Amino acid sequence: MYKPPKVKSGGALYGTAKVLTQRDPNGKVMAVRAVMLDDEGNKTTDVYDFKAGNFPEYAQAGTFKVSIYKDTLQSLSPVEGQYVGKLLKFSAQKDKPPAPKVFQGKNWDYEYFTVMLVVTRGAQKGMVISYNLRYNFEAAVDDKTQKPILDKDGDQVVGYGHLKSKYTPILEEFCDITGVWQFGSMKYKDNILSSLEKRALRAGKEFNIVMRDGWVDKLFPLMETVEKEANSDNDGNFDPDPDDLNFTPEAEDLDWEQVTE
């Protein structure tokens, strides 16, 4: 029976995949295979192979969300588990500052923005995670007098709005953990995302990221014990023998590495 061809959105393919790797004797990944999974987590017949240079350095075996463009595996990101990371950037159109986007539903619409987090420690270091947050910011007013709350320069400051929304505490959590408010109040304007991004990057805080089903479930501060363990110089790896570096086997000669889950 005829089946219509599959069309990649915007030329790119996004989804969850079972990733396999081929490594040389020194542990360097020589090739990567992505077996796409369906909504139930079962393997499909969609299989993509990538040669050296066409996948990120952190590529490894396991189950990940993947982004594929033409013959390149652009990125992998975690599906489940807890990771240490920090803010990488706010998502924005090319050569433009970050700005809120509008989701238009059948019965309501709302503003949101997307930030990119990056894993900074462990085997998944370098993996990028996207995180959507509601743009629930408003010009701050006093609860009793309803008069604008001003900073020392006489400018109205940023406050949180939509206080009954379950997404506002999530936004507050993000701002607190990334250190946005450690620099004091912020002048209100229609789009504060550039200012927000600059503050968070300046703070440079690391935090824990909990992933569930490929999405950020929660962020929470690092514990001191976690920091000490992650900062250990002993990672169990040893420098290869210089003579071994001259040997580069063909990918076809290597076995596919899998992770048993």
Q: What are phi and psi of 48, to 5 degrees?
A: -125, 130
Average of pLDDT values for 106-115? 93
Cα–Cα distances (Å) from 56 to 11, 59, 182, in that order, read 19, 6, 34
Residues 186-211: pLDDT tens digits? 999 999 999 999 999 999 999 999 99
Average of pLDDT values for 76-83? 96
C-alpha–C-alpha distance, residues 106 and 94, integer Å: 30
Confidence of residue 108 (pLDDT cuts 50, 70, 90): confident
Cα–Cα distances (Å) from 211 to 54, 81, 208, 244, 260, in that order, read 26, 5, 10, 38, 19
Cα–Cα distances (Å) from 233 to 60, 228, 237, in that order, read 22, 10, 10
Q: What pLDDT is stored for residue 107 in this prediction?
A: 85
Residues 152, 175 contacting (CB under 8 angstroms): no
Residue 224 clears pLDDT 90, i.e. is over it: no
Residues 8-55: pLDDT tens digits? 556 789 999 999 999 999 999 999 999 999 999 999 999 999 999 999
Query: Which of 115, 130, 13, 11 is CA-nearest to residue 77?
Result: 130
The phi-psi region of residue 204 (left if phi > 0; otherwise alpha if psi is between -120 and 50; otherwise beta) is left
Average of pLDDT values for 160-167? 96
The phi-psi region of residue 152 (left if phi > 0; otherwise alpha if psi is between -120 and 50; otherwise beta) is alpha
Beta-carbon count within 10 A of 227 CB: 12
The pair of structure tokens assigned to 142 is 């006093």
**pTM, two decimal places:** 0.81
C-alpha–C-alpha distance, residues 160 and 117, integer Å: 22
Q: What pLDDT is stored for residue 237 in this prediction?
A: 36
Confidence of residue 247 (pLDDT cuts 50, 70, 90): very low
C-alpha–C-alpha distance, residues 111 and 132, integer Å: 10
Q: What pLDDT is stored for residue 2 in this prediction?
A: 52
Residue 146 clears pLDDT 60, i.e. is over it: yes
Hey, what amino acid is at 36?
Answer: M
Q: What pLDDT is stored for residue 110 in this prediction?
A: 95
